[in-house]
Amino acid sequence: MDILHLIDRLEELFNESKPVPLTHNVMVDEDRMLDIIDQMRITIPEEIKKAQQLLAQKDRILAQAQEEANRTLELAREKADQMAKKDVIAQEAQRRSEQIISQARADAEATRMEADDYVIDSLAHLQSEMERLLNQVRNGIRSLEEDRLRRNTVQTIEQSKATD
């Protein structure tokens, strides 16, 4: 289940809750609230798995880029060796091989930087979503605890009145 869907359900539960007169508090269906929180606990590890998959994807991209750079370097060296054997074009071969090697390194570095940027952006987005979710859960828990305290206080007052 999507964590954002669970947040929507939590908000819907809050909006459906009955207000406590003369306060900014509401009474929430405890079973439904705990059910949603349990589902969030199950879903958040899925979000973390997605982040781990992004990291693995970054590692694969970097490995592929390195492998491609190595192949390009090897091809450039082989081509340079073949060209160097010919006296007339030996200098041109050297210049071209250096250019290919330089381009391969630049391409590999650009690919690494793009992969890093992608992972950083994805993880930053995931972090902000998780912080937002955590704040919502904390607020819900705080509200429930305040509700419970208020109910206990009212019950204590009522019991005190009943015994008088």
56-75 pLDDT, tens per residue?
888 898 899 899 989 998 99
Calpha distance 85→79 (Å, rounded): 10
**Does the structure show a pLDDT above 90 at 103?**
yes
Tokens 């607020």, located at residue:
139
Tokens 């390009």, located at residue:
72
The tokens describing 87, both together, are 């006296």
- Which backbone phi and psi does 2 adopt, to 5 degrees? -75, 135
DSSP string for 56-74:
HHHHHHHHHHHHHHHHHHH
What's residue 160's pLDDT? 84
Calpha distance 51→39 (Å, rounded): 19
What's residue 89's pLDDT? 67
Q: Which of 109, 137, 107 is CA-nearest to residue 44?
A: 137
Question: Percent of the chain, pLDDT > 90?
Answer: 45
128, 134, 140, 145: CA torsion to nearest 10: -150
128-142 pLDDT, tens per residue?
999 999 999 999 999
Taken in order 52, 53, 58, 60, the sign of the CA dihedral is positive
Are the C-beta atoms of 69 and 104 separated by less than 8 Å? yes
